[in-house]
Amino acid sequence: MKSRTYLAAGVAAASLLGLTACSSAEPAADGAPSGNVTMVVPMGAGGGSDQSGRAIASGLESGTGLNISVENREGGSGAVGYSYFLSQQGKNTLLLAAETALVALPVTQDVEFTYEDFTPIMKVGDDYTLIVVAPDSEYETCADVVEAAREDRVVAAVSGATSLDEIVFTLIEEDQDVEFDRVPFESGSEVLTGILGGQVDVASLNPSEVVAQLDAGDLKALCAVSEERYTYDELKDIPTAMEQGIDVAFAQFRGFIAPGGIGEESTQYWIDAAKEYESSASYTEYIEANYMQANAQYGDDFTEYLAGNTADLEKVFSE
């Protein structure tokens, strides 16, 4: 894989501090938690991962009657939150809002966990990305960005070395034989601030993070990094990267996991709760409000998806 030029100090990988799991109440006989539940978000507030965690927590809370609070544990491109979660084995009162960093971190960094250390509960859906620039940018298409990168320096924002935007820019580089400079940020909300503030030339963000700015004319979308155009009215006129000669499409999954070692009854409890959430209006509202593709998977099927996603990313980052 090509070398990278980072223009700011990258966030160091989280150091594992030997966190010790606190004692927790025993689960009820049916596997239900016997206390308040916490949804851990391993990214900063305001980004797509935070929005996902809060929406899932709210939907599960409505369906189960449990009190579910949200706690952000950001740092190290998600490594801080996942490392903390690794130390919470057996606690069925904890959940984590998972996304692509769950599989990308073990592939790209020296961390002590993989998806196999946790209990996959639900893949909620797929979240594609848009390539966006400032409204006065000289670029009108993603093909323009690629051509500029062949001749000059193009600075891309990325929310960590294992983020969806890092993967997207890496895939474009490999497909088009170009290279982007990068400025790393800690979350999608910080990337948005960076592109709005003119710190970078181009960014790759989920639609939910930028649709208001697109509507207001504060940003313009060059392409969607998806197989097909969005069907949502707000996005249907944005061409895909493939239409512009860039053979790249990649979705970030959204979902949630439980700690490892929670047992079969607790695992089934949360899978049942997740299925009830999928059948609710709040699930549909979350998918549509965030311009996602509904594609729910549970338990073993979700685990199989994570295995395949890991293999795909190993191929991407080994080239």
pLDDT in tens, 208-235: 889 999 999 999 999 999 999 999 999 9
Instruction: Provide the pLDDT for residue 20.
Output: 38
Euclidean distance between CA atoms 133 and 145, whole angstroms: 10
Would you say residue 24 has pLDDT above 50?
A: no
Instruction: Provide the pLDDT for residue 28.
Output: 54
pLDDT in tens, 39-56: 999 998 887 889 899 999
Euclidean distance between CA atoms 104 and 78, whole angstroms: 10
Q: Write the burial class of residue 316 (CB in 10 Å: 0-12 exposed, 13-18 middle, 19+ buried).
A: middle
Looking at residue 133, its amino acid is V
Residue 183 is given by DSSP the state E
Instruction: Provide the pLDDT for residue 159.
Output: 83
Beta strand extents in 140-299 (DSSP E only)? 155-158, 181-184, 202-205, 220-224, 252-259, 293-298
Instruction: Give the angle subtended at the CA of 42 by the CAs of 38 and 48, to the nearest 5°.
Output: 100
Strand order in the sheet with 220-224: 181-184, 155-158, 202-205, 130-133, 220-224
Decide: 142 and 244 in contact? Cβ < 8 Å.
yes
Euclidean distance between CA atoms 87 and 199, whole angstroms: 37
Instruction: Provide the pLDDT for residue 74.
Output: 92
Residue with tokens 């060059």: 222
> Dihedrals φ, ψ of 157, to 5°?
-90, 140
Does the predicted model carry a pTM greater than 0.85?
no
Decide: 56 and 49 in contact? Cβ < 8 Å.
no
Instruction: Provide the pLDDT for residue 164.
Output: 85
For range 54-65, the mean pLDDT: 96
Euclidean distance between CA atoms 104 and 107, whole angstroms: 5
The band of 275, judged by pLDDT with boundaries at 50, 70 and 90, is: very high
Task: Give residue limits of the domains in the chain.
Answer: 37-126+253-318, 130-244
Of 307, 292, 277, 297, nearest to 102 (Cα)?
Answer: 307
CATH 3.40.190.150 fits 37-126+253-318, yes or no: yes
Decide: 105 and 162 in contact? Cβ < 8 Å.
yes
Q: Which of 60-64, 73-77, 153-157, 289-293 comes out lowest in average pLDDT?
A: 73-77
CATH 3.40.190.10 fits 130-244, yes or no: yes
| Secondary structure (3-state) at 293 | strand
Q: What rounded mean pLDDT belongs to the chain?
A: 90
What are the residues facing 202 on neighbouring strands? 156
Euclidean distance between CA atoms 4 and 150, whole angstroms: 15
- Residues 6+ away with beta carbon under 8 Å from 148: 138, 139, 154
The band of 77, judged by pLDDT with boundaries at 50, 70 and 90, is: confident
What are the residues facing 256 on neighbouring strands? 97, 122
**Per-residue tokens: 56:** 């899932």
Would you say residue 138 has pLDDT above 60?
A: yes
- Are domains 37-126+253-318 and 130-244 of this chain identical in fold? yes
Would you say residue 319 has pLDDT above 80?
A: no
Based on DSSP, count helices (H) and strands (E) in the chain, helices before strands: 10, 11
What percent of the chain is predicted at pLDDT more than 90?
A: 78
Would you say residue 8 has pLDDT above 80?
A: no
Decide: 162 and 100 in contact? Cβ < 8 Å.
yes
Instruction: Provide the pLDDT for residue 76.
Output: 87
Would you say residue 169 has pLDDT above 60?
A: yes
Euclidean distance between CA atoms 142 and 223, whole angstroms: 6
Would you say residue 114 has pLDDT above 60?
A: yes
